[in-house]
Structure 1
């Protein structure tokens, strides 16, 4: 607390040595400096300069400011601009692919009706399934680059999450995945229920994959909701104890087509789509992860 440090000698305070080690060179030179360093999960901006007190004493002033939130907001702004540019590109490509894929599916169905040879029919089935998969990817692309505004109504976020969980309940039970609901009583939020349920489903499916890939005996997904007391917002946390996300990949997790899964397990669009939906609702989404321990996705949505 502030009262615990005012008037104390800086050497008596438990300050991370990283601060002093990064400042040592400048102190020896007697120069002014400003540097940004990371202390565990906190990004600090350190400024220091020498001055003279009214009593004529030479002193050095240190200013240490927590800029973690500012850094996160800057990264989100950069990411949003990048996604907007990619969205315009993929929209055009997706529309161009949609028509020929529809033709492939239609003509394959016609051929299956006319061909009596089972071996040929099996090959046609393979073509149809491959084209269907391509069409699904195109649909995801169009969703990612969608232009239509959300169709909003007042809903209970807890009900939307419950609905998403129920759609996967058989899978949870079959694979011994424990799902913990920690829901607070929330005010109704003005959102598009279909879009938000899509976000929750994406996060839940990702959590499923993460816990199934881990070798832990107890597989757990915890979903928590609560109202921020300091702000007019609600927060949703989707936590798993799965494999986690490697540190060198977490910065790309919302990029389109980026995925940590094998090729046949995902298109790499789910989180990009979720990011876009939350942004359209004037909300925020971010992630924290520790490899080998698990991942938590955070969503904040305005109440008004």
Structure 2
């Protein structure tokens, strides 16, 4: 038996097939052709021999279907277009190798054979299996009849050109153009993603599709299935992938992962046609932009579907375009959000600026009023000091009942004036406070009876102050006055009766350091309008009738809270009542028990020499008379310079009493210079205009103007006895 692959040398010369087309020519001269229905080429008709000899060297794709069985003969150029059908299709009936498209191809060939008319078409689709998987391919075709010497039709000459890549490229471009044309007008990345994936899923006819964003560290960011109701688009996160899969994706190579078959089939250059027969098959298509893996398109093809070069290219181009659109939408949204944020920030900053300017204006106005009030109060105190001293001196010498009554009325008026000046100084935060550790529950309990009598029987007073609250550091007399002011204001807002509540709780402040206690006085009265609330703490502002208030109550309360190191707040709504809150600092020292307080100091007897320094003649003169009436020996000095000259001349008083504000130097500066001369000399500074003790580290005693006879007597007695 002859070797099927050995050429029939005795016929080779007779055939004289050209060297070009040598592969097919060689195959035609092997024993393989002995098994063909056509037999060995030596047995062919001269027409067929000449036709094949002419077709073999041609670079165009040529196939001849000969005889009624359409035996296939083709040249080297045509062989690649049928893939793995070659060389088995050579010399065999077409139906044996083109069975999948025979219903389409056979009528065309038979029509040419029967009629002798040429059939031609451009981009004619054919479904063919040529790489193990079915796919639709496209050809430009020209089928014409080949006649034998007797004029009968021996076969069909097919000259074809495969246009699959061009057709698929044009279709991809058309799809991408249509995809962009139908892109929703939105800056929502999710809407764009859903639109692209939905169209791509339909175009590729796949089962599931999703786009995975990849973070800089290679971790999975987000998975969005094409169908929002699709719950089966579970996707592997990158950390679960193998190193080779990640490497392929980062190198812009698609990866086909088939669990039941080979674990990983990378598409190193072009993806081989692959028939997906299991739903566990997943194709990962990378989206690489500027050399960086930005996302991965996850595709799960339908069972028995085909996914080849065209589908891969389409998926990759659509995914890249989609990712660009998504990034653009994210950038536009970020820009829009930034613009909106900037606009809002500008609006907020302008509003804050206007508010700050208003607050600055209000602050400057209040500062100016405070300075004016403080200055006026200082002058008033200097005037009240000699008035009250003179009234007390005269009162001690007059025994006539009528004159005594007149003097008592004058003294009462002077006391009221002193209280009013104290309110002015408190508003200006220049009142001399004498803070100490006190317990609010005890202070309010002592005041409750007075408050209830002041408010009347139609108003219920409630007190809610726990015994466990820490003590606060505040001037008790000023706090009592503040609470009385607030409850009287509440009474005026409760014309038909109601409730006034005084409560306290431990609290903290963001604007102040240390611990604080929140003291609140509230009522359920008529409340205040926004305009009234805005101006209620301004000095001299009052909604009461003429002669029914000074307008200093709330400003005094605010001044007390701020000067004590706390805060002040007032809230009110028409018909709902008013709530005033003071934050007071917690005391660091223990509360002095009543039984441990020093008894009232008796007046000194005997000769005590006082050097009195004040540049106001009326104040100095009246104070000197008051001291002399108390039994002191007094030397007067109209200025600090005169006082220093007296010391330098040898004067050695037992105690120094000096005004704080003087033309040349302050009383504190004078006291310091004198302390350098006499280290342990008792010193008392009297003032109508101070912020507190002049220097916290100094041990100078301070007495506020105007003062009563008993006030200066007790203070001097304590000083002199303390230095003895």
Which residue matches 1:14? none
CA separation of 1:243 and 1:268: change in aligned 2, threshold 3 A = same
Structure 1 contact 243–293 (Cα < 8 Å) conserved: yes
- Tell me how far apart the structure 1 counterparts of residues 487 and 462 of structure 2 sit (CA, whole Å): 12
How big is the alpha-carbon RMSD for the aligned residues of Structure 1 and Structure 2?
4.1
Q: Distance in 1 between matches of 2:361 and 2:448?
A: 32
* Structure having the higher Rg: 2
After TM superposition, the structure 1 = structure 2 runs for residues 262-273 of structure 1, keeping only pairs within 5 Å, are: 262-273=545-556
2:458 matched to 1:165?
no
- Residues 132 and 158 of structure 1: is their aligned pair in 2 closer, same or farther, counting only changes over 3 Å? closer
State the alpha-carbon separation in 1 of the partners of residues 509 and 425 from structure 2: 37
Per-residue deviation, residues 247-284 of structure 1 (Å, max 9, x unmatched): 11211111110111112211011111111111111211
Mind listing any 5+ residue stretches in structure 1 that lack a counterpart? Answer: 1-51
Counterpart-to-counterpart distance in 2, 1:150 and 1:81: 24
1:182 aligns with 464
Q: For 1:302 and 1:83, locate their aligned partners in 2 and report how far apart those are by CA, in whole Å.
A: 24
Could you tell me how far apart the structure 2 residues matched to 1:299 and 1:76 are? 21
Deviations for 1:76-130, whole angstroms, at most 9, x for unmatched residues?
A: 7765554333222123334445677786996xx99xx99x9xxxx99xx999998
Q: Which moved more, 1:151-160 or 1:54-63?
A: 54-63
Task: Indicate if the aligned counterparts of 1:160 and 1:196 stay in contact, CA closer than 8 A.
Answer: no
Distance 1:252 1:84, change over 3 A: same
**Aligned pair 1:250/2:533, yes or no?**
yes
Given that 1:180 and 1:220 are in contact with CA atoms closer than 8 Å, whether structure 2 keeps it comes out as yes
8 A Cα contact 2:429 2:560, kept in partner: no
Q: Secondary structure at the match of 2:530?
A: coil
1:203 is aligned to 486
- Tell me what 1:228 maps to: 507
Contact 2:374 2:425 in 1 (8 A): yes
Are 1:302 and 2:585 matched, yes or no? Answer: yes
- With CA pairs under 8 Å and 6+ residues apart, which has the higher RCO, 1 or 2? 1
Q: d(CA) in 1 for partners of 2:516 and 2:533?
A: 25
Q: CA deviation at 1:160?
A: 2.4
Richer in helix (by share): 1
Paired residues in the alignment total: 236
Q: Does 1:56 align with 2:329?
A: yes
Matches within 5 A, 1:52-91: 54=327, 56-57=329-330, 58-59=332-333, 60-61=336-337, 81-91=364-374
Q: Is 1:153 matched up with 2:426?
A: no
Q: Offset of 1:245 from its aligned partner?
A: 1.3
Q: How far, CA to CA, are the matches of 2:379 and 2:518 in structure 1?
A: 39
**Distance in 2 separating the partners of 1:53 and 1:150:** 68
- What SS does the corresponding residue of 1:267 show, helix, strand or coil? coil
Provide the C-alpha distance between the structure 1 equivalents of 2:439 and 2:509, rounded to a whole number of angstroms: 21
For residue 158 of structure 1, report the CA deviation from its aligned partner: 2.4
